[in-house]
Amino acid sequence: MKFPVLRVICPDQPGLVHQITAILARFGANIIRNDEFVDRAAQRFFMRTLFENVAPEDWSDLEEIVHAALPQGSAVTLARPKPKRIVICTTKEYHCLGDLLLRHHFGDLNAQILAVIANHDTLADLAARFEIPFYHLPHDDMPREEHEAQLRQRLAQYDLDYIVLAKYMRILGPETVHEYAGKIINIHHSFLPSFIGAKPYAQAFARGVKMIGATAHFVTSELDEGPIITQQVIAADHNDDAAAMQQAGREVELQTLARALKLVFDDRVFISGNKTVVF
């Protein structure tokens, strides 16, 4: 992303677009793209604006002036045009991590991978091939709370923007979710809200579904019920057993995760309660 992005969430009222764009004009901004949406049920206004021709030293003033002009309860952020800083958490499955490492290597991720953290050492060699720090935090014979405290301690070493759960097959506790609220992105191997939890392909096979899919979502304290970023599906039929579905599903998972991360890293995703607005 080459341009700064102004993001606004506020109570809806007449004249908001005019107010915001007038302030941008006062700073001499040229608007590259502008998107707006009104959630009528919640009476909330969302706006994403790409602009140019404003000096970086004026961005903070611009952000503050826009915020001061809007109704009480508004949220205004100005996203700088730089890659997001991420830490990836994983377990044993390689496909999502491998895809992200390749995209990162070729500059196609709009992010800097700071580290990979896993509760198994299976993928240490994969991370090493791309010269990414890998931390093995085994959980065997350890209370969940103690293991997760170690995870938070490791995460705290990094000034990160997002945590990506690339097939991290452990449930995060409320303390971690609260500390990193709105910053944890998970790939779930089913088309949510169907087949929540473990072994979704076995569940899908038992149900005889004709489509299987994957869901990328933000993590909340409710298992697999956080705001959905994006979803994809592929066809299945009676010839597919659970193993075949799982194999096919891996391709959907990595594509869905990559698509979700591009949207988030380009500052296109707004969280609105338990839903998202995606421009």
Catalytic residues: 224
Phi-psi region of 208 (alpha: psi -120 to 50; beta: other; left: phi over 0): left
Count CB-CB contacts under 10 A for residue 230.
21
Q: Are 36 and 45 in contact (CB under 8 A)?
A: yes
The token pair at 151 is 């995870």
- Count H helices, E strands: the chain? 8, 13
Q: Are 84 and 103 in contact (CB under 8 A)?
A: no
Residue closest to 43 by CA, chosen among 14, 2, 77: 14
